[in-house]
């Protein structure tokens, strides 16, 4: 399914020099990556900074289902080369998109008058630092490589990374991944010295886990022969003898990335290291259009090899290396700390002060943000509802049918072909990018037939399939919390739910004075939750009945689609809230220093005391499963949907 950047709020200017520079930077990176690895970098997909509710984590484990490499490369080139088009035509397409009210986002909790501002005019205006489970904020502040106590182990030297030709690397990678029938690869030793042979042996073993080497004489020439030590098992389990027992099996590091989402970054790292992406682990995904700092763990890759990537990659920096005995797990983080600049703000000092004090003292409604629901005329929650209804023909139709809205040209042609012929093979031919949900479903229909849509749909990666039903849960929750705020306001009332440990209990009449709105939770519908004992509990039932679903039986005949419920706080009060209004003249200059700026000793530009524009710089920390865009929405009191914002863009441009 095609995804579009969701977080741009208010009046974004036309394509700026920053955007042009960024496009050039991406092209340079692609050229750089091709010259070093023979492959393009990973895919470009928008993801959400915020994490799933913990009760849903069992359903959203990080599964990586790689596709065929040639197809993957072709997909990347097409995705990278496709432009969104000019702002006005994009705004016209987005007239069919969703607004906040379409997904139940209708209320505010503050009383100040709203004002406008530009979010993410530059991606560097939105910075996210992960907060680990120990409460420590992740920062990139150290490029040094830890020294091993064990002297018998030798990390690869710098020469290791250059001694093999691109052709040798390609052949070795194919051998490593068992992609051809060759049982070995022979590399001729041109400079026949023991030292040179040792470097080649080290290079093969370091860069290609699972391969062993030996030296052979053939026709008077020396060759280093690379071969699999134990077939596929060796690929899954890198050589044990090459890793010191005293060293933790996982290298943890801080990843600083710019304008890349987390999986995109991991795909790039895995290609440069020539390993599978699933040896990486992390606690949460982060925004694409942002600067983000998070902890990553990788199995049995040395800090030295990782640090070497800092010389090769653009938009990434790796540092703060350490060895530990455990990977990272999705959902382990405590939250994220945000540094956000809203440019060209129109609010008075009084309005801004009132808005930010309200954010700090009251908070914001904990809505699921627009990222959760897609951008086209077919919202993801509609597909989720059809799955829960066991209406598989509708699932297929909703995913594949023509739709108005922001779509790339090849998807439009694919949908038109599907509407005309209902032939998965013919539709697939119109779709050069096979990795998208539409392509995966069409391949499934080719494989299993039109009468087995369930199996065909199952070809789509599990995380993507579950995204649809979680979107429906989010849609219900948003609508119900709006009703709850409208009905009872910002106070706890008898019949509300609160959490006692991990258990939800009803607030009784005699205890209501012991609770505030910040204690109240609302359920996401599922088979193991209870509902409020007041009007909102009945509203849940009415909404699900209208959708032909039984609120008392949310188990699905396919286990994956049985909705496990959860509880979510109505109001989130951000922590560590700080703000400052600054003046500036040039919209291209940064208004604060990043971790990388500090490491490189870059000073903050001197800002004018009386500039043409004003910006609101704010900082705050949020727990997992909360959306920074919803906090910013409360400050600006503006619709954050891409439909609304692109229409504002068009009005402003004219």
Residues designated catalytic: 287
For residues 288 and 123, what is the distance between their CA atoms, to the nearest angstrom? 9
Residue 469 DSSP SS3: helix
Distance of CA 94 to the CA centre of its chain: 23
Regarding beta strands 520-524 and 497-500, do their DSSP bridges make them parallel or antiparallel, or are they unpaired? antiparallel
Residue 1 DSSP SS3: coil
For residues 279 and 217, what is the distance between their CA atoms, to the nearest angstrom? 36
Helices 392-400 and 380-388: crossing angle, nearest 10°?
160
Residue 319 DSSP SS3: strand
Q: DSSP E strands: which ranges in 416-524?
A: 497-500, 503-506, 520-524
Closest to 69 measured CA to CA, from 94, 46, 43, 93: 43
- Kindly tell me the sign of the dihedral angle through the C-alpha atoms of 592, 595, 596, 601: positive
3-state helix, strand, coil in the chain (%, to 5): 40, 15, 40
For residues 574 and 519, what is the distance between their CA atoms, to the nearest angstrom? 14
Tokens of 434: 């096979």
* C-alpha distances in Å from residue 242, one per residue of 159, 205, 249, 302, 307: 18, 9, 11, 11, 19
Regarding beta strands 126-131 and 291-299, do their DSSP bridges make them parallel or antiparallel, or are they unpaired? parallel
Instruction: List the end-to-end C-alpha distance of the chain, in Å, as a whole number.
Output: 32
């Amino acid at each position: 399914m095609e995804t579009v950047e969701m977080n741009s709020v208010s009046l974004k200017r036309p394509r700026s020099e920053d955007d042009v520079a960024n496009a050039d930077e991406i092209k340079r990176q692609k050229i750089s990556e091709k010259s070093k690895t023979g492959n393009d970098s990973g895919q470009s997909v928008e993801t959400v900074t915020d994490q799933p509710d913990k009760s849903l984590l069992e359903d959203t484990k990080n599964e990586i289902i790689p596709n065929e490499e040639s197809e993957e490369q072709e997909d990347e080139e097409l995705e990278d080369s496709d432009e969104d088009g000019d702002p006005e035509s994009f705004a016209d397409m987005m007239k069919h998109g969703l607004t906040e009210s379409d997904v139940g986002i209708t209320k505010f909790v503050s009383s100040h008058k709203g004002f406008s501002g530009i979010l993410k005019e530059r991606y560097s205006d939105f910075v996210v630092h992960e907060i680990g489970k120990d409460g420590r904020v992740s920062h990139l502040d150290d490029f040094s490589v830890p020294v091993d106590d064990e002297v018998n182990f030798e990390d690869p030297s710098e020469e290791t990374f250059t001694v093999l030709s691109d052709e040798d690397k390609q052949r070795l990678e194919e051998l490593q991944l068992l992609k051809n029938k060759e049982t070995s690869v022979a590399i001729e030793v041109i400079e026949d010295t023991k030292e040179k042979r040792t470097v080649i042996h080290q290079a093969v073993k370091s860069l290609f886990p699972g391969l062993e080497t030996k030296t052979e004489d053939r026709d008077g020439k020396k060759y280093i022969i690379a071969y699999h030590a134990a077939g596929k098992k060796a690929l899954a389990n890198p050589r044990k003898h090459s890793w010191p027992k005293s060293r933790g099996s996982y290298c943890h590091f801080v990843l600083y990335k710019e304008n890349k989402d987390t999986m995109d970054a991991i795909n790039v790292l895995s290609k440069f290291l020539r390993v599978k992406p699933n040896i990486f682990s992390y606690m949460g995904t982060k925004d694409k259009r942002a600067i983000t700092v998070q902890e990553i763990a990788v199995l049995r890759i040395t800090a030295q090899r990782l640090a070497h990537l800092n010389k090769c990659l653009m938009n990434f920096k790796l540092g703060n290396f350490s060895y530990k005995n455990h990977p990272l797990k999705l959902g382990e983080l405590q939250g994220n700390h945000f540094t956000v600049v809203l440019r060209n703000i129109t609010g008075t000092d009084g309005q801004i002060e009132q808005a930010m004090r309200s954010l700090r003292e009251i908070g914001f409604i904990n809505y699921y943000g627009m990222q959760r629901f897609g951008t086209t005329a077919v919202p993801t929650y509609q597909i989720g509802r059809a799955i829960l209804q066991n209406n598989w023909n509708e699932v297929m139709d909703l995913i594949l049918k023509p739709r108005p809205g922001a779509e790339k040209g090849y998807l439009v042609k694919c949908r038109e072909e599907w509407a005309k012929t209902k032939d998965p093979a013919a539709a697939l031919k119109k779709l050069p990018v096979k990795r998208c949900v539409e392509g995966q479903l069409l391949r499934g229909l080719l494989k299993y037939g039109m009468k087995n849509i369930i199996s065909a749909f199952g070809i789509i990666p599990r995380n993507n399939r579950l995204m649809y039903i979680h979107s429906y849960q989010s849609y219900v929750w948003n609508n119900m919390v709006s009703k709850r705020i409208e009905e009872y306001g910002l106070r706890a009332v008898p019949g509300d739910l609160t959490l006692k440990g991990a258990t939800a209990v009803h607030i009784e009449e005699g205890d209501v004075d012991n609770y505030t709105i910040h204690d109240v939770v609302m359920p996401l519908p599922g088979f193991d939750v209870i509902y409020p004992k007041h009007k909102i509990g009945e509203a849940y039932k009415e909404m699900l009945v209208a959708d032909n679903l039984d609120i008392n039986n949310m188990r699905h005949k396919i286990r994956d689609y049985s909705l496990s419920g959860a509880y979510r706080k109505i109001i989130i009060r951000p922590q560590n809230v700080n703000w400052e209004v600054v003046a500036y003249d040039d919209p291209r200059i940064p208004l604060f220093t990043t971790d990388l700026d500090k490491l490189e000793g870059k000073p903050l530009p001197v800002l004018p005391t009386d500039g043409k524009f004003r910006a609101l710089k704010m900082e705050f920390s949020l727990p997992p499963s909360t959306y920074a865009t919803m906090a910013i929405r409360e400050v600006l009191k503006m619709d954050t949907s891409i439909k609304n914002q692109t229409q504002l863009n068009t009005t402003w441009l004219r």
